Structure 1
């Protein structure tokens, strides 16, 4: 493999499953720029027909698509099948959102028509993550295409095969050449794309990279930048009646996708002295099956994305222990050469760990004396993506909703449950106030307000001097001039 190539490996086996060239940003952007005028002039009905054809192509290849995602990410097949279903479902949701959020609106009074329509930005870049390599970039691609933009998509260097599969499905759907171009590579290619001749960038990924993009875009405020980043998400358990059901919600919140969802619960906040839930969570975590995507019975979770990710999580875990954490279930690695990790639990009550997002199967327990302390603890993070309450009543949830600083606030549901028919995003270090999902239509086009009349009519309302009388003093041929 030359330096100009990228290889993708199966995290479960280390087998190389894809290779391809990297870079090519300048050519990809030039191609998208050349295709932009014609695509922008394509009618909305024609664009809708193409994205619906894409949905049909996804449905027709759903099994192969799910198997590829499972192979490249290590996620269980049952989970990747739900991801493919979400890719298909995004089409009709985005069509509805386009009409509601960016559809044409207008009125008429006294012969003057007022209208609101939207125009595409032009060329947009999409930077995708590895945890949902199809669903999350697709959540930007579909609304951006509906809005009339052309795109350059750089997937995570961990999941290029999934991106290329998606590209082929778009070609099958009849998307014109140049409207969607895929480039591959690592952070250097991402930086090149962010600095290229683009009109905006749509990003899903870590807060570290998002902050770097914000700095890179600081001198170009005319370019749109939408950032959806991670979270150090709290889950508060209070006034529980059903401990077993609560434990199931905690485990789903903490360990789905091996903890590699930006909405995973990282901190479980409980009342001091009540150990029933913690004991139930530990017992349930001990029963979770960790395995490869195609194992039978199906595992609850697979490996994390790579050995490098597993190594980073081990360092983060060591930091929690060094900060004074009491290990309740250790972070174990079944094989030294592969990134299978066990679900880990650590009690951080009274400790002061760093406010970092540990993107893996690590749950911190924090015990507090009262409700106000629980709210204070929940908000003790620079992030603000997701927060959840399990237990209590409607009045307690109303108080939690009002005081929790997050863009997703759930009650008696996992923190990683979110509707595609709602906006998705957070505050603080979790985003830049451009939530995606249903609100992606808001930043994929810009509004144009118009006043129009069929007849030309104009008058100066005030401030004109009177016209001189006909034949009066107005200057003659012999008048002296200064």
Structure 2
């Protein structure tokens, strides 16, 4: 792939140049997709077992190079090296699950026919689309795109991957590691560039697009894919909440809220941005939360919180904090002065109106809005009063399951933050403005396939229905059967 244009990547922490990459234009994207189509037949026909062996080799390559990969991730998007290493570990677990379970989930299986079609032998299997395009995010540039890439590959697709323009080096490294494990064909390719490169991928001859990013960008992706009626998997934004009931373990709940809201500088679609606490323990919870947050800082070196990766997001964070305070909210920690360059210190807001921007819109920064509620009914009502529905967390000893069941989101974790995203066998995805479709688990494998049904007539049916030779006597028999089978219910 060649192109005359390129772009630079700078460290959000230091501003230093960390790499230059080509901006692949439409012709380069189409060439990559053509190569992927050429490799698709080979990759599909090697079968589940051989694909699993190749994916295991890729997993080993990533494992051996994890220190270098973590370094690139940290340099490009700013997260602490230890957090980058943890992200790689989670991605490896999901890659392993996809490789080991694809055959059982997607392979052919028999289906029992109905009484009227008993002469048919039936089976269903899940066929790969051929080529899948994946558009990945910068905030979790290994874990999140691999949720699509590894499952699409395990299902038998080749993949053309466009990483974020903020983290192209991560994508290039992953593709080079894959090429060492699978050198025969261009099964996984990377194209780099900005929005136009992604739009070209959407307009190309891919069988499906897996997208992760903001809801607004997702709408543009869908519009581009509509030109070819290309199906899409949409993993979009969130405004996730954490609920604390009166009988909750407050220390554990505060720890989860702090990690959920501040880890990765709050740049997590599943991150906690809203906390609803039962009035009976509200003050105690706040004391615990502030005590745990006392020494937490954003910065370089040994700091546990890195910079804001996208400079334009700083304006959003600042607007949300300023609006909350202007409307009667208080900053118990941080506040408008917490923003210094591309670093934002942890900010905890209280007394914020329910319709404030910090409660309604995705902030994507290290902020928490903590709200007192009189009951769990009120907490659930407020959690569900959002256009987003990605994930949620509940801390409660007695009624955790009952509370979780009433939350309208793609997943809920009880007494642990975002545990559902770390378990490879569970599906991950949202509802509403958070998107549709699922990654991970059996649903994630099927997401990158289409169902193929096959029947074979074993013998001629005594009730031949789909023929012009059907007699009045057969119609009478069928009518009586319908009455017996379906008319005696209730």
TM-score when scaled to structure 1? Answer: 0.87
CA contact (8 A) 1:50 1:175 kept: no
2-side partners of 1:99 and 1:397: how far apart?
A: 35
For residues 407-427 of structure 1, the C-alpha deviation after alignment (integer angstroms, 9 at most, x for no partner) is 111211114662222101111
2-side partners of 1:330 and 1:404: how far apart?
A: 30
2-side partners of 1:385 and 1:309: how far apart?
A: 20
Show the counterpart of 1:173. 181
| Cα distance change of structure 1 residues 307 and 86 upon mapping to structure 2, 3 Å threshold | same
Quote the RMSD (CA, aligned, Å).
2.6
Structure 1: runs of 5+ lacking an equivalent = 467-482
| Cα distance change of structure 1 residues 75 and 332 upon mapping to structure 2, 3 Å threshold | farther
Aligned length: 456
1-side partners of 2:80 and 2:20: how far apart?
A: 23
Alpha-carbon shift at residue 164 of structure 1 (Å): 0.6
Give yes or no for the alignment of 1:253 onto 2:260: yes
| Cα distance change of structure 1 residues 3 and 288 upon mapping to structure 2, 3 Å threshold | farther
CA contact (8 A) 2:110 2:122 kept: yes
Alpha-carbon shift at residue 370 of structure 1 (Å): 2.4
Give yes or no for the alignment of 1:326 onto 2:330: yes
Give yes or no for the alignment of 1:356 onto 2:354: no
1:154 to 132, 156, 162: 162
Show the counterpart of 2:291. 283
Show the counterpart of 2:394. 389
For residues 445-478 of structure 1, the C-alpha deviation after alignment (integer angstroms, 9 at most, x for no partner) is 1111112368999995564399xxxxxxxxxxxx
Q: Secondary structure at the match of 1:217?
A: helix
Compare the two structures and name the one with the higher helix fraction. Answer: 2
Give yes or no for the alignment of 1:18 onto 2:23: no
Show the counterpart of 1:227. 234
CA contact (8 A) 2:160 2:188 kept: yes
The structure that has the greater radius of gyration is: 1
Q: Secondary structure at the match of 1:275?
A: helix
1:262 to 250, 261, 269: 269
1:290-305 superposed matches below 5 A: 290-292=298-300, 295=301, 298-305=302-309
Give yes or no for the alignment of 1:243 onto 2:247: no
1:55-454 superposed matches below 5 A: 55-106=59-110, 113-218=121-226, 220-221=228-229, 223-240=230-247, 242-272=249-279, 274-292=282-300, 295=301, 298-331=302-335, 336-337=340-341, 339-354=342-357, 355-393=360-398, 396-415=399-418, 418=421, 419-432=423-436, 434-438=437-441, 439-452=443-456
CA contact (8 A) 2:119 2:461 kept: no
| Cα distance change of structure 1 residues 300 and 460 upon mapping to structure 2, 3 Å threshold | same
For residues 25-79 of structure 1, the C-alpha deviation after alignment (integer angstroms, 9 at most, x for no partner) is 2222222223223333232222122111101111111221222212222111211
| Cα distance change of structure 1 residues 454 and 45 upon mapping to structure 2, 3 Å threshold | farther
Between stretches 62-71 and 318-327, larger displacement belongs to 318-327
Structure 2: runs of 5+ lacking an equivalent = 472-490
CA contact (8 A) 1:235 1:415 kept: no
1-side partners of 2:83 and 2:166: how far apart?
A: 18
1-side partners of 2:320 and 2:470: how far apart?
A: 77
Between stretches 190-199 and 173-182, larger displacement belongs to 173-182
CA contact (8 A) 1:332 1:342 kept: no
2-side partners of 1:177 and 1:7: how far apart?
A: 29
Q: Secondary structure at the match of 1:198?
A: coil
Show the counterpart of 1:41. 45
2-side partners of 1:123 and 1:417: how far apart?
A: 28
